[in-house]
Structure 1
């Protein structure tokens, strides 16, 4: 592939050359003919849905592919005298952590839980000879932890990973990655699980770290707004191939491939007629993409010759486009909209005469919950943690109530109390006039029938040993209902095929597993559905599908929705009311548009200012602006 096709802006100073990279097993081709270059100091984004091959590309470059998966092609790194593809492990071990490093999505999986944080940072420097002895390494560790803005670095160096917050653990990973002054940093979804304010700080740290060292950055994510904020150039990946590449502003304002156009349409949270735009269908299983254009089975403009033509055509000025372009981004967005409602759903007619407001379905009054941490000394009492501090609000029947706040704000504690899974220290919770707080389980059967929860990670809440039909039917045990018919109705309602009931959770994608979780929650016909971060880990296109699905189901079954998230833009789209929690206190409550567009409390304003947007990034809003909480309007 030519330098033009790679989209390289500075081939003479390129520090990383990837040429014809293939990744696969004996039977499947997972990544095909990926070629690009990255210059020293350049910041490049790699975007695409789960299953597109982004992480496999990075793992192949690092020599970290799992057993049975092999790589072909070439990966060359400036200053390294051998090809990284096929290099023996001793040679790759000398490269990893020194010339090329990686920040992973989940730091708890990458950090050793049995080693102190400082020892793990020091180990990287000692292994590669950056520090000669442990005494010097310890001093360097404290300085490095301070550079990533960890408070009390000397104390935190002696802590274990589980004693740190998610954001602090990710800062440790950044410190490890930057410890030896790498020439290339790979960041694989490093902020996906973080709150928006912590995400902004981590993005700023990554950019500062690579800028100070003149390192190249390959930033892998499915969040287009983050790429627009962080990167100068972007590559779009689908089906194990790069289908479009070029400068961020060019690709995001004038996309030439229908897949890119679909991603941009799905990222627009303003929606059309209250609904989000989505890409039809779903990503095929890894290695099972069609011949010819890998996107043709989902493309609204596919033609017969797409099955035999090459996957793309090279365009003047770099980047790729399909053989049958959809047209303008606006028309592409409209063409890629799925049916407005999933099958069998009927939207309730509006225009019902106004009636006097009934009593709230859920009433929370002066709710407090105090926990006690484990004792650290026999001389001192266990320190208290005030998770909730006098929270009060009402939720009316049929309301869409959004709960927003960072980790540690008290959201999860509040949800547990509403669901009767914990008891308040003081205050009251009533559901339809009946007391919930502090009641024994035998008196909460009415609540178990009427309130169901959909959790963030469906794989953590679905039994991997049970078939889907049994998972959905489980809440119906002991009830006089036709479970088979109910399961069939629910699978259809959430947009899953009838044969889905015969399969196991691991045979579905993340979005499909979330649909299974929703079906199970609806099985006992609840009146309240609590959705706890249900889309935070999903791709933008899948997120749009799930949010549209929730809106349809709330309408069809006349549900009251409690939607929990740290993403204010998502809550604004889904809910009619937003409550903002901060350090256990309810700091703002009001109509969604008012809270999101004209927030009154400084904390809410900071949350709004920390959300990255494509429009703001293209207008010059930086990661530093997000971290400082600079409003988008000021840019």
Structure 2
């Protein structure tokens, strides 16, 4: 196997158990400084391929074939874990999806960066490694790198933590950087900054990049070549412009169709969308379904001294109305106040000032025992169905849970309603007797939707309900959500940082920034002709496949973005 000109060579890679093949005959090379994307849906084998290259496959899985790394003799698959551990962090750098899982929560950030230097470059000494750690934190554009080095991971934002992980991965100028969904949990502007740093870091060092993701627009922005993986096999590969512009394989075409959300306006809606009527006049009811006025929420941090605890304003004087049957989108970055707003609308928190009304009834200041009307008429769907579904309960119990809580009786007495709801979200009736882990991520989110619909609510609040899903599954769940809203006459409050998703499903959009409502209007207007600079910046930061395929490089795109320094958490 020739590796003279390759940073990484993978040949005939096979991964599986004793009786099952998961990855079959994978072949590719990455040249020094080349950026290669590996795309495919969950279960396609892309993460397993990356783990095999790093020697981190889970117990019970074995890899066969050849993996060669520039400057390292022999086949990496033949090395034991001790030998591979000497390569990780030195010849290979790794950036995973969730930085909090990669960082030690009880050690200072600077110590964790310095550690990888001391292990592989002991000649630096403790003080030299500490000084170099601060330089690396500065190189990934952390504000006040000296202060950041003294911080613990929980004291930094998500984007700042991912910058720390990137600093660790690039500390020893590796031959190859492997990134597995490194930006999928980040807001669009922070994602843009981290992508720019990955490109700049690998370009400066001549490091080969393997970028694993399900986001095709990100690959089009960052990479020059792409590999498409389906069911453990590479089904298409080539230059990004060629594969995405003229796809040959049906699976690639399906991925591209599923990813094309940016230009999608809300689907046509029936003229007879259920809106309550005033019984005395027969006219549509003028009273809003949800109304907030002068809404503010200020949190106080725990007292650490005799001084007055510092206050953190999460929402500031927010006002808007949501009409019955409306699909109302709320967008903004982490820390913008979206989650605080959801908690206030659902009566799970109390405002510091202002009012929340549901169909004319006050929600703020009302004790929980008097909020039954809200619990019956407003339901929530959360981001991560795995975390919001009890793994010890059968699906039937989960779907019937709101009915049991509100109306009593054992869950099986509600079985007819449960089966109707499962059918409505596209799941078979026998799903009621199975457990959440027996379903895919998209199916689990359908279970969450069925549970939310159980008490026949008037309002459904969906908080980032598709951000953890693959592009094709995301499109299916969005279409289902829109269909359910029409079928059940729901008022939909859809919270997300993904502007293309919001444009796909919402007719009205509210933009939050630092707790303030900075823009509000029809979705098509706000998301195509934004007036506020913050909304314009959000839109500019969204990875655009058409712009990338038109020839814009990641560096040119970076020039269009207004770099925003992240404040310390």
> What range is the shorter-chain TM-score in?
over 0.9
Deviates more, 1:500-509 or 1:527-536: 500-509
Alpha-carbon distance in structure 1 between the residues aligned to 2:160 and 2:265: 41
Quick one: structure 1 residues 412 and 274, their matched pair in 2 at CA, closer, same or farther if it must change by over 3 Å? closer
Alpha-carbon distance in structure 1 between the residues aligned to 2:377 and 2:560: 40
2:322 paired residue among 365, 380, 395: 395
Alpha-carbon distance in structure 1 between the residues aligned to 2:135 and 2:54: 27
1:382 paired residue among 296, 299, 309: 309
Deviation (angstroms), 1:537: 1.2
Deviation (angstroms), 1:86: 2.5
- Residue 454 of structure 2 corresponds to 523
Deviation (angstroms), 1:275: 5.2
- Residue 405 of structure 1 corresponds to 332
Structure 2 portions without partners, runs of 5+: 563-569
Correspondence 1:165 to 2:157: yes
Deviation (angstroms), 1:578: 0.2
- Residue 533 of structure 1 corresponds to 464
- Residue 55 of structure 1 corresponds to 47
Query: Residue 452 of structure 2 aligns to a residue in which SS?
Result: helix
- Residue 59 of structure 2 corresponds to 67
Query: Is contact 1:400-1:574 (8 Å) kept?
Result: yes
Correspondence 1:573 to 2:504: yes
1:203 paired residue among 195, 208, 231: 195
TM-score, structure 2 as length reference: 0.94
Deviation (angstroms), 1:624: 4.2
Quick one: structure 1 residues 133 and 217, their matched pair in 2 at CA, closer, same or farther if it must change by over 3 Å? same
Deviation (angstroms), 1:129: 1.3
Query: Residue 13 of structure 2 aligns to a residue in which SS?
Result: strand
> 1:139-154 maps to which residues of 2 (within 5 A)?
139-154=131-146
Deviation (angstroms), 1:623: 3.4
Alpha-carbon distance in structure 1 between the residues aligned to 2:229 and 2:78: 24
> 1:288-299 maps to which residues of 2 (within 5 A)?
none
1:495 paired residue among 401, 426, 441: 426
- 1:499-526 residue CA offsets vs partner (Å, 9 max, x unmatched): 1111111111110100000000000000
Quick one: structure 1 residues 350 and 519, their matched pair in 2 at CA, closer, same or farther if it must change by over 3 Å? closer
Quick one: structure 1 residues 373 and 621, their matched pair in 2 at CA, closer, same or farther if it must change by over 3 Å? farther
Alpha-carbon distance in structure 1 between the residues aligned to 2:98 and 2:559: 25
Query: Residue 374 of structure 1 aligns to a residue in which SS?
Result: coil
Correspondence 1:367 to 2:359: no
> 1:208-287 maps to which residues of 2 (within 5 A)?
208-269=200-261
Correspondence 1:88 to 2:51: no
Cα root mean square deviation, aligned: 2.1
Query: Residue 7 of structure 2 aligns to a residue in which SS?
Result: strand
1:600 paired residue among 509, 512, 531: 531
Quick one: structure 1 residues 130 and 266, their matched pair in 2 at CA, closer, same or farther if it must change by over 3 Å? farther
Query: Is contact 2:385-2:444 (8 Å) kept?
Result: yes
Alpha-carbon distance in structure 1 between the residues aligned to 2:63 and 2:377: 52
- Residue 447 of structure 1 corresponds to 374
Alpha-carbon distance in structure 2 between the residues aligned to 1:107 and 1:356: 50
- 1:209-229 residue CA offsets vs partner (Å, 9 max, x unmatched): 000100000000000000000
Deviation (angstroms), 1:270: 6.0
- Residue 317 of structure 1 corresponds to none
Query: Residue 421 of structure 1 aligns to a residue in which SS?
Result: coil
Deviation (angstroms), 1:82: 2.1
Correspondence 1:506 to 2:445: no
- 1:227-282 residue CA offsets vs partner (Å, 9 max, x unmatched): 00000000000101101001000000110100000000111126789559xxxxxx
Alpha-carbon distance in structure 1 between the residues aligned to 2:274 and 2:210: 52
Query: Is contact 2:273-2:489 (8 Å) kept?
Result: no
Deviates more, 1:77-86 or 1:118-127: 77-86
Alpha-carbon distance in structure 1 between the residues aligned to 2:331 and 2:20: 43
Quick one: structure 1 residues 373 and 273, their matched pair in 2 at CA, closer, same or farther if it must change by over 3 Å? closer
Deviation (angstroms), 1:104: 0.4
Alpha-carbon distance in structure 2 between the residues aligned to 1:203 and 1:271: 23
- 1:169-199 residue CA offsets vs partner (Å, 9 max, x unmatched): 1000000000000010000000000000000
Query: Is contact 1:200-1:624 (8 Å) kept?
Result: no
Quick one: structure 1 residues 544 and 596, their matched pair in 2 at CA, closer, same or farther if it must change by over 3 Å? same
- 1:112-151 residue CA offsets vs partner (Å, 9 max, x unmatched): 1111111110000110116521100111011100010101
Alpha-carbon distance in structure 2 between the residues aligned to 1:237 and 1:133: 44
Deviation (angstroms), 1:547: 0.3
Query: Is contact 1:411-1:564 (8 Å) kept?
Result: yes
1:40 paired residue among 17, 32, 38: 32
Alpha-carbon distance in structure 2 between the residues aligned to 1:159 and 1:48: 36
- 1:303-336 residue CA offsets vs partner (Å, 9 max, x unmatched): xxxxxxxxxxxxxxxxxxxxxxxxxxxxxxxxxx
Query: Residue 355 of structure 2 aligns to a residue in which SS?
Result: strand
- Residue 566 of structure 2 corresponds to none
1:472 paired residue among 385, 399, 418: 399
Query: Residue 124 of structure 2 aligns to a residue in which SS?
Result: coil
- Residue 486 of structure 1 corresponds to 417
Query: Is contact 2:265-2:504 (8 Å) kept?
Result: no
Query: Residue 40 of structure 1 aligns to a residue in which SS?
Result: coil
Aligned residues: 553
TM-score, structure 1 as length reference: 0.84
- 1:379-430 residue CA offsets vs partner (Å, 9 max, x unmatched): x221100000000000000000000000000000000000000000010011
- Residue 100 of structure 2 corresponds to 108
Deviates more, 1:65-74 or 1:385-394: 65-74
Query: Residue 376 of structure 1 aligns to a residue in which SS?
Result: coil
